[in-house]
Amino acid sequence: MLTIRAVGRRFPGGIEALRDVSLRLGAGDFVALLGPSGCGKSTLLRLIAGLDRPDTGALDWDEGHALGPGDAGFVFQDATLLPWATAEDNVFLPLRLRGMSRGRAMPAVRDALAHVGLGGFEGARPRALSGGMRMRVSIARALVTRPRLLLMDEPFAALDEFTRHKLQTDLLALWRELGCTIVFVTHSIYEACFLARRIVLMTPRPGRVTRELASTLAHGPDTRLDPAYAALVAEVSQSMERALEAG
């Protein structure tokens, strides 16, 4: 759906966040952008979302794939909910900004909350929710417009490991069910290997794509114990180490 061609981005102050980055996104992909901090993975995500523009290179959307409002959902590292609004109102926000009335939006809002396992929490304010539940609201908010593309910027990095594992499993189920494209930024090798079909390695200074690995991991109830998962983690770790040494 998208071809990123030789994209570069330099911030005022001279920091070169991205240099010569090329990548193709296919419809239905689950891509992890993996790398240490400062490798430009978040910058790349913002470029894809249209929140920022490249200095050089281009993002070419395939015919009929260009993003309109609501075609992309964005999930940040923090849940970034409106603290004064209920879960329902937070999820309603994207539709509200597009001028949809509350009554017309409610079925979609309820549906999105139910999808992330928060049915029954419509009236709860963020303060009353745990970190994991807040992140679920944030994901529901991103899903409520039925986006073709879901962009996630280290969404689970601030959560405890048990909550993170649960959310990772649930995210995979959502991806399979909804069939949207997901670009998932992470600095966790385990997370990238567990979730993604394509793992894109990025290295810093300047930020660039070094390598891409494909995952053929078959997901079952105990994927984390699967030797194939361990092998993939080892392979990605070694590639990352080599890439960092070479850089």
Distance between CA atoms of 247 and 206, rounded to whole angstroms? 9
Identified binder of another protein from the candidate list 43, 145, 203, 239, rule CB under 8 A: 145
Maximum Cα–Cα distance for the chain, whole Å? 56
Q: Is 221 helix (H, G, I), strand (E, B) or coil?
A: coil
Whichever of 69 and 247 has its CB closer to another protein, that residue is 69
Minimum distance, C-beta of residue 69 to another protein, in the bound complex (Å)? 4
Q: Which is nearer to another protein, 144 or 167 (CB)?
A: 144
> Does residue 102 bind another protein (CB under 8 A)?
no
**Which of these ranges, 88-96, 188-196, 201-209, 232-240, lies near another protein under the rule CB under 8 A?**
88-96
Which of the residues 186 through 225 are near another protein (CB under 8 A)?
none
- Minimum distance of another protein from residue 47's CB (angstroms): 13
In whole angstroms, give the CA distance from residue 185 to residue 128: 28
Contact call for residue 97 and another protein (CB under 8 A): yes
Q: Where in 64-135 does DSSP place strands (E)?
A: 72-75
Residues sharing a CB contact under 8 Å with residue 26, sequence separation 6 or more, in sequence order = 1, 181
Tell me if 6 contacts another protein by CB under 8 A. Answer: no
DSSP state letters, 123-188: T--GGGS-HHHHHHHHHHHHHTT--SEEEEESTTTTS-HHHHHHHHHHHHHHHHHH--EEEEEES-
Interacting positions 67-86 with another protein (CB under 8 A): 69-70, 72, 74, 76, 78, 80, 82-84, 86
Cross-strand partners of 150: 73, 182
Return the residue of 24, 96, 165, 187 that touches another protein, per CB under 8 A: 96
Please measure the distance between the N-terminal and C-terminal CA atoms of the chain and give it in whole angstroms: 30
If binding is defined by CB under 8 A, does position 131 make contact with another protein?
no
Which residues here bind another protein, judged by CB under 8 A? 46, 49-51, 69-70, 72, 74, 76, 78, 80, 82-84, 86, 93-94, 96-98, 125-128, 145
